[in-house]
Amino acid sequence: MRAYFGYSYKDDYYSALLLNMKIKNDFVEKLNIIRDKRVAVVGAGPNLLSVNEINEDLVISADGATNYLYERGIIPDIIVTDLDGISSFPKESIYVVHAHGDNISKLYKVDNMKIVIGSAQVFPFGNIHLFGGFTDGDRAVILAKLFKAKEIVLYGMDFDSGYVGKYSKPYYEQNLPANWIKRNKLKIAKQIIEQVLSKDL
């Protein structure tokens, strides 16, 4: 994956190192709130705009979907983010922050968060975990599965429309056509989610 998209291991590791320095305690056990719950995983796809109500026991939002939910008075229990889409920071939420080489300049956003669990795509160390996954959306599904959710319901997960959701980035004003990179990321995310939901972890 890293070679396919041209990502730098050195940059990924440096980002994880900086994130680890910001996290003083390992809160990973707090993810046990997922166990035996009916979990809604909310992505920032184009169809997110049709989501007005969520009735599951627990809400996990993927990055920019947090902004949409926050605008509607829905506070996610857990937020999975690589920091490029999120601009709302509910104090009550548990944050799973993913470090990679492209978000080094955004790590300052961690200072807005109270409970932070570190994630990365390098070998785990310190307070940094390797949960797996590729995008915030599929990482959120993996976490729900890893921590034994009773049921996982997907919202705002539109992999095949050819568009990127308005809430994917804070500066988007509408849904936009997906470029080659984004289309391939969505394709991979869809495959990961389908595989994760089809088996026991």
Q: Per-residue pLDDT tens for 144-180?
A: 999 999 999 999 999 999 999 999 999 999 999 999 9
pLDDT on residue 201: 67
pLDDT on residue 145: 98
pLDDT on residue 8: 86
8 Å CB contact between 63 and 41: no
Query: What is the full DSSP assignment across 137-167?
Result: HHHHHHHHHHTT-SEEEEES---SSSEE-GG
Provide the residue ranges of all domains of the chain, joining segments of one domain with +. Answer: 2-197
Q: Per-residue pLDDT tens for 92-150?
A: 999 999 999 999 999 999 999 999 999 999 999 999 999 999 999 999 999 999 999 99
Q: Residue 26: helix, strand or coil by DSSP?
A: coil
SS3 content of the chain, % helix, strand, coil (to 5): 40, 20, 40
Distance CA 194, CA 88 (A): 29
